[in-house]
Amino acid sequence: MKNIVWMLLILSLGVAVACSKTETTTEPTPNPDTRGLSEPKTPPATDADNTARNAENSTVGDTATAGQGESKADVETTAAIRKAIVDDKSLSVNAHNVKVMTTNGVVTLRGPVKSEDEKRSVEAKAKQVAGVTQVNNLLEVEKNP
């Protein structure tokens, strides 16, 4: 129960931080080489937005998003997998942020990764954790622009 409370606290904190981000723009600065003209504004950085994808994934069927189990074993399994993924500094930021959900020992992995190698690496880390009976690897390799 204590672990569940900590997990919920950490998730709540992450949501609060994400919601509190504000968008800023850079004001143009005069450039003496352009005879008084100002440089163009730098467009604001935009965060990745998975809202549409999450809405699609909430439908019933093969693309339904698995929920996180509430048992102590499921929470501990998810935490161990998350730790193994985050501790691997060779993985991309996207790989570090994949969704990991465990229900009755069945792990579901969702989200974008940079390569097939990362996809296999994340899956291998999940399979190595004690208590995992099956891994549903729904990770998607990003397409190169």
pTM value? Answer: 0.57
**Cβ-based neighbours of 103, under 8 Å, separated by 6 or more:** 66, 67, 68, 69, 74
| Res 129: pLDDT | 94
Domain count for the chain, please give it.
Answer: 1
* CATH number of the domain that residue 82 is part of: 3.30.1340.30
> Rounded distance, CA 109 to CA 94, Å?
12
**91 found inside a domain:** yes
**140 found inside a domain:** yes
Q: Which residues form the domain of 93?
A: 72-145
The answer to whether residue 64 scores a pLDDT higher than 50 is no
The pLDDT tens digits for 43-54 are: 444 444 555 555
**126 found inside a domain:** yes
The answer to whether residue 13 scores a pLDDT higher than 50 is yes
Using pLDDT thresholds of 50, 70 and 90, give the confidence band for residue 27: low
Neighbours of 49 (CB within 10 A): 8
| Res 44: pLDDT | 47
Supply 50's token pair: 């998975």
Neighbours of 76 (CB within 10 A): 17
**Cβ-based neighbours of 96, under 8 Å, separated by 6 or more:** 85, 86
**129 found inside a domain:** yes
